[in-house]
Amino acid sequence: MKILIVDDDPHIRDVVRFALEQANFDVDEAADGKQGLDLFDPAVHQLIVLDVMMPEMDGTEVCRKIRAEAATPIIFLSSRDDEIDKVLGLELGADDYIAKPFSPRELVARVKAMMRRLELDGGGKAPADDAEIMEHGELKLDRTSFEAFWGDHAIELTKTEFMMVWGMMRYPTKVYSREALMRLAYDDHNVVVSDRTIDSHVRHIRKKFEAIDAAPIETVHGVGYRLAKAVDG
């Protein structure tokens, strides 16, 4: 997975590229909005660094077009306050912005923060990522059969529900934001749903486990959800 930089100023591109590569990211560059759209591939780019003010096609328009096909997070670069207003006016979902002038260090920090928030960095290298079966305490999932178990009890989960729990199992102690859960549930990054929808899925999962007095998911108020701690002996 790569990061796509779209900026008409080659100097800025250099800085950004260098900073990100130092931080061990792979980078693609585009010199204007059109080229950016051409180059962009939702399956390849996990994040976009996008200048707001560009000749030809400005950043907000690029954003809109990208949004039409993918929910890939975007970090805007902007210098003037009114540009920032414009960016904020967008439906800033998985987005952030940085005011110029920015330091390379700040950029990298933001990118990392975004990755963390969206649970993208773990995207391919979770512990036991390609396992067929994962366990955490009483909870066991089998992705070959799409079945969940709590101890010996089998639980029927729908695809979305299963994917959410499966995803959380990769880092069973981590708190997942709703945004992150969204990405776990829909491995294609193009879906954008309301946070309440996530609540709803969580509720359905809980309900199914309640039937056998199990509570696999706990709430972290104001942050998200987390798997219940394993208490086995």
> With binding defined as CB under 7 A, does residue 175 bind DNA?
no
Cβ closer to a second copy: 56 or 129?
129
How far apart are CB 92 and a second copy at their closest, in Å? 6
> With binding defined as CB under 8 A, does residue 64 bind a second copy?
no
Q: Enter the tokens of residue 50.
A: 């996008």
> With binding defined as CB under 7 A, does residue 185 bind DNA?
yes
Q: Which residues pair with 29 in a beta bridge?
A: 5
Cis peptide before 101 (omega within 30 of 0): yes
Looking at residue 175, what DSSP letter applies? -
- Picked from a second copy, DNA, none, the partner binding residue 61 (CB below 5 to 8 A depending on kind) is none
Binding mask 6-45 for a second copy (x = CB under 8 A): -----x--xx--xx--x-----------------------
- Picked from a second copy, DNA, none, the partner binding residue 196 (CB below 5 to 8 A depending on kind) is DNA
- Picked from a second copy, DNA, none, the partner binding residue 147 (CB below 5 to 8 A depending on kind) is a second copy
Alpha helix segments (H runs only) across 47-194: 59-69, 81-89, 104-118, 159-169, 178-185
Taking CB under 7 A as the criterion, the residue among 7, 95, 161, 179 binding DNA is 161
Q: How many other CB atoms are found less than 10 A from the CB of residue 101?
A: 7
> With binding defined as CB under 8 A, does residue 65 bind a second copy?
no
Contacts of 224 (CB under 8 A, 6+ apart): 175, 176, 177, 178, 180, 181
- Picked from DNA, a second copy, none, the partner binding residue 110 (CB below 5 to 8 A depending on kind) is a second copy
Nearest CA to 111 out of 81, 80, 76, 82 is that of 76
Residue 228 and residue 169 in contact, taking contact as beta carbons nearer than 8 Å: no
Query: Helix, strand, or coil here: 171?
Result: coil
Cα-based distances in Å from 21 to 3, 14, 120, 232: 10, 10, 17, 43
Q: How many other CB atoms are found less than 10 A from the CB of residue 123?
A: 15
- Picked from DNA, a second copy, none, the partner binding residue 15 (CB below 5 to 8 A depending on kind) is a second copy
Taking CB under 7 A as the criterion, the residue among 46, 72, 78, 160 binding DNA is 160
- Picked from a second copy, DNA, none, the partner binding residue 41 (CB below 5 to 8 A depending on kind) is none
Residues of the shown chain interacting with DNA in the complex, contacts defined by CB under 7 A: 158-161, 185-186, 191, 193-197, 199-204, 206, 219-224
Residues of the shown chain interacting with a second copy in the complex, contacts defined by CB under 8 A: 11, 14-15, 18-19, 22, 81, 84-85, 88, 92-96, 98-99, 101-106, 109-110, 112-114, 116-117, 129-130, 142, 144-147, 158-159, 171, 173-175, 220-223, 226
